[in-house]
A and B are shown apart, each in its own frame.
Chain A
Amino acid sequence: MEFQDYYEALGVKRTADADEIKRAYRKLARKHHPDVSKDAASEEAFKSAGEAYDVLKDPEKRAAYDALGADWQPGQKFRPPPDWQSDYQFSEAGAEGVNPEAFSDFFETLFRRGHPGSGFSGDQNLRGQDQHARITVDIADVFRGAKRTLTLRVPQVDASGHVRIRDRSVSVSIPKGITAGQFIRLKGQGSPGLGDAPSGDLFLEVVFAAHPQFQIVGRDVHLTLPVAPWEAALGGKIRMPTPGGSVELKVPKNARSGQKLRLKGRGLPGAVPGNLIATLQIVNPPVKTEAGREFYKKMAAEMSFDPRAEMEE
């Protein structure tokens, strides 16, 4: 496993006091919170800060961490000292304020102690907790439906009470017409229950993969559709790609750049399917040949058109 530099994760010195550590964590948590930040790197930064804070805010854990020495480099291969398990007993399992589901192997080995049943004393049959994950769905899958296998990292308590991270595969069917922000529930795939109680459920939040051409708003699909000047001027039928396959679109005569054309029911499928909204963008062909230049000169001579007629001096 790799060594984690918790002081670096919070951006504080090894001598920082508890208040400094708290301040540094709060700042990072606000900046990188997954609900607030759109930056892909933020999720990782938020997790590292949470993990670092979980150790450094607790005087017992911090002392144990400091005892490993200051010479370690982040990412360096690390083996816990042989006497580690017997030397330290941390009074608190899990963390307050941070989601303890996905910490590093380094953390799980050194700082997590499994206490099966702790916190639930007196209640032997307790339903397992619901678990959450995200599933990224391609827009094309929404039109066809799809099957996917997800790999989830799950902390599990082994027979000796240690927590190990285990990879678990779950197969999921993505129904046709699902939209971002909906949840897929996999019954009984969450944390196992205590005693005879049933397992919790696994909830998958659907997010759409970003697409270079199509933007989704609700069930509507938006795209920018490039057209040649003559297509815009003369109008007529053109073919255009959509996530559900290519369709024919009628461009009106004298279409403007920025004009929106709507194809009803060609958006995301559903009980009430969305619309497809194409915004026209007139693209000029680059002129590379003498004949092309002559053509433009002819247009300039024959068409009385001043694009700046409306502008004032």
Chain B
Amino acid sequence: MKLTSARQPPSDVIEALTLAELGRFCHAETDWIIELVEHGILEPGGLSQVEWRFTGINILRARKARRLSQDLGLNMAGIAMVLDLLEERDRLLHELGMHREV
């Protein structure tokens, strides 16, 4: 248990979220999260849905997926492709940044 003063709300770094927690986190139904897993957009650890644990990049991807679906009306296949391309682009931009003259 961490000690916290009255002014300091308890804060913790998220290591993993359950299916229900991720749904709440994204303001989405759990069915929608399950669909993300079925499309390979998210890869939780654990064998059954009850055991699923979403970590790191999966949490970020789920949130981006939610925004892409709500803001741009993308379907699952579209979301999967956009996320892959965005990650590829970010990787390339990063690499480009490292080779640029300082």
List residues of chain A with CB under 8 Å of any chain B CB: 26, 29-30, 33-36, 38, 50, 97-99, 127, 129-130, 132, 170-173, 175, 178, 181-189, 200, 203, 205, 212-213, 215, 217, 222, 224, 226, 279, 281
Contacts and interface: CB of A to CB of B under 8 A. Distances in A.
A33 B68 contact: yes
Contacts of B12: 184-185, 187
Interface of B: 7-14, 24-25, 27, 56-57, 59-60, 63-64, 67-68, 70-73, 82, 86, 93-94, 97-98, 102
B102 A213 contact: yes
Residues of B contacting A: mostly: helix
Which 7 pairs show the lowest CB-CB distances between chains A and B?
Answer: A183-B14, A35-B64, A224-B102, A186-B9, A186-B11, A187-B10, A181-B60
A130 B86 contact: no
A74 B44 CA distance: 47
B67 A34 contact: yes
A205 B14 CA distance: 10
Contacts of B86: 35-36
A213 B67 CA distance: 32
25 contacts: A26-B72, A29-B72, A30-B72, A33-B71, A35-B67, A36-B82, A50-B71, A99-B70, A99-B71, A127-B24, A130-B25, A132-B63, A173-B11, A181-B56, A182-B13, A183-B13, A185-B11, A185-B14, A186-B10, A187-B9, A188-B9, A200-B24, A205-B60, A215-B94, A217-B94
Contacts of A203: 14, 25
A31 to B, nearest CB: 11
A171 B11 CA distance: 9
B93 A178 contact: no
A33 B12 CA distance: 29
A172 B11 contact: yes
Contacts of A188: 9-10
A170 B9 contact: yes
Contact of B71 (A97, A187, A205): A97
A38 B8 CA distance: 33
